[in-house]
Amino acid sequence: MEFYRSHVLVCGGTPCVLEGCKGVRDALIAEVKRRGLDREVKVVETGCLGPCDLGPVIVVYPEGTLYQKVRVSDVPEIVEQHLLKGRVVTRLVGEAPQAGVVKYEEPTYLGVQERIVLRNCGVIDPESIEEYIARDGYRALAKCLTEMKPADVIEAVKKSGLVGRGGAAFPTGLKWSFTANADADQKYILCNADEGEPGTFKDRLILEGDPHSILEGMAIAGYAVGANKGFIYVRGEYVLSIERLGKAIEQAKALGLLGSNIFGSGFSFDVEIRKGAGAYVCGEETGLIESIEGKRGEPRIKPPYPGTEGLYGKPTVVNNVETIANIPPILLNGPDWFRQFGTERCPGTKVFTLTGDITNKGLIEVPMGITLRRVIYEIGGGIPGGREFKMAQTGGTSGGCLPKELLDVPMDYFTLPEHGSALGSGALLIMDDSHCIVDIAECFMRFFEHESCGKCTPCREGTARLHEIVAKIARGEGKPGDLELLDELGSVMQVSSLCGLGQAAPVPIKTMLKYFRDEFEAHINDRLCPTGTCGI
């Protein structure tokens, strides 16, 4: 039996990898050994801890001290002072996001956070199925397979009020019931890990930090709807996600938690990984299905919906990574437990990637319905450099922009659309008053023009014209009537585009016109940028 008095968790999430955490980990292992502490202190690589902007990040247990921006040259001091003598190296604890010694359970950056999806991220070694099992892993699957009928599982998910976290907010239990009721010899579960939304990296960090939770959630979904095969469609550049998922699948198979006759229940389930080549439209569920089938990634005409006619024409559930990560805790703890988080209409939590002009950037999970103000000022540490908040882009480029008047609107899937915005995938891009709205609009519209697959005319032409008009305004060549034209063109695209790409492309521009119209007008009428930054 191995017994260690201290665990040093080194964050191995991609943002920390980019900051050089591998070197820090190796140096820690070497130094701990050199000091003769290797039988007392264990170095563990884990998933994202949250404060990605402060990487490489490490946490020392049992104290729960979080060290940030750790360099290889800091390692001898940490080992000598903390691991040998028990003294916190205060200079590496930093001022933001917390001061002094922190308990991992309650550091301030976790203050208003609630961890359901990220329950294991940064706590376990994602490459160890044992550590996942230690934290109740695969117990929900065991419970479903041995104590519940498929219909009970669907009922529980329905009662939990869980809605899809991939952007469209469709009720997950209802979606499953369509596939469960479809009569077919073969059904599929697809996990959508394409995550093409600019500014979003939560699915990546969930997969890297807790891959088994996805396998378990998919197996439960498979049992509920009668599918014995699952595919995870991952963006090809998510190298670490793919590697860890691959290892997780191997481990689960070795223990018989995937494969045939799981828990002697007669239910069998297998999962395979499919890599995407990085087209935004392949995140759209039917484009994704086409891509898995080896065809060009273009959306299909709906209906029929994937629930009844999806992959290879068979009934198929498509769910986002975060949606699936919610499944095991919901089944293990029950729908009522889940409903105590978030709001009545929208229970549970939301994982956000907090980026832009904000002090604490990184990955957070908060109760659904939290206000933007609390996220920015209580978790995010406010706007740096003494600047003013100007706007937040919620839901990625397909979402809308929230001005400071809306800082107190509850953020959930139903309230934000009432203000013309969307919660979307969970990107939160914060911008201060140094940014020009027209400049940002131009950048977003360029993205959509580039990503439109060209299958339908409203989107192919619409995204190009939206970009053209905005680019002209940005160059100081705008003319009266342009803003009305943008509005009208956007409305046409919203009602006539084939898929969500063309339907959502006008959303950011429409909210910008609604809340920052005077800035567009200044560019057109006065050939002037009020922020003086866009070079008009």
Partner 1 sequence: MKTVEELERIRKQAQAMTRLREGKETTRIVVGMGTCGIAAGARETLSAIMDELAKRNIQDVVVTQTGCVGLCEQEPIVDVIKPGAAKVTYGKVTKEKARQIVASHIVNGQVVGEWVIASA
Summarize as ranges the residues that interact with partner 1 (CB under 8 A): 1-7, 9, 39-40, 61-64, 84-87, 103-105, 123-124, 130-131, 133-136, 138-139, 142, 146, 255-257, 261-264
Sheet containing strand 229-235, strands side by side: 270-276, 229-235, 188-193, 316-320
Min CB(340)–ligand FMN separation in Å: 22
Query: Binding pattern to ligand FMN, positions 79-118, x when CB under 6 A?
Result: ----------------------------------------
Query: Binding pattern to ligand FMN, positions 113-152, x when CB under 6 A?
Result: ----------------------------------------
Looking at 323, 326, 353, 394, which residue binds ligand FMN (CB under 6 A)? Answer: 323
Looking at 113, 320, 393, 397, which residue binds ligand FMN (CB under 6 A)? Answer: 320
Give me the phi and psi of 169, to 5 degrees please: 60, 40
Helix (H) or strand (E) holding 412: none
Task: Report CA torsion sign: 434, 439, 441, 444.
Answer: negative
Closest CA to 50 of 170, 205, 254: 205
Q: CB of 512 within 8 A of CB of 473?
A: no
Question: What is the radius of gyration, based on Cα positions, of the chain?
Answer: 24
Closer residue to ligand FES in complex, CB, 48/376:
48
Closest CA to 205 of 430, 371, 426, 444: 426
| Residues in touch with ligand FES (CB under 6 A) | 11, 13, 15-16, 48-52, 55, 57, 362-363
Query: Which option in partner 1, ligand FMN, ligand FES, none does residue 305 bind, with CB closer than 5 to 8 A by kind?
Result: none
Min CB(56)–ligand FES separation in Å: 7
Q: Is 168 in the site for ligand FMN (CB under 6 A)?
A: yes
Looking at 194, 208, 210, 412, which residue binds ligand FMN (CB under 6 A)? Answer: 194
Six-digit token string for 186: 């073969």
Closer residue to ligand FES in complex, CB, 53/194:
53
Number of other CB atoms surrounding residue 56 within 10 Å: 26
Instruction: Return d(Cα 440, Cα 512) in angstroms, integer.
Output: 10
Six-digit token string for 47: 């998933």
Q: Is 50 in the site for ligand FMN (CB under 6 A)?
A: no
Min CB(325)–partner 1 separation in Å: 19
Looking at 8, 32, 318, 429, which residue binds ligand FMN (CB under 6 A)? Answer: 318
Closer residue to partner 1 in complex, CB, 254/301:
254
Give DSSP secondary structure letters for 109-161: GGTT---STTSSTTTS-TT-HHHHHHTTTTHHHHHHHHH--HHHHHHHHHHHT
Min CB(415)–ligand FMN separation in Å: 18
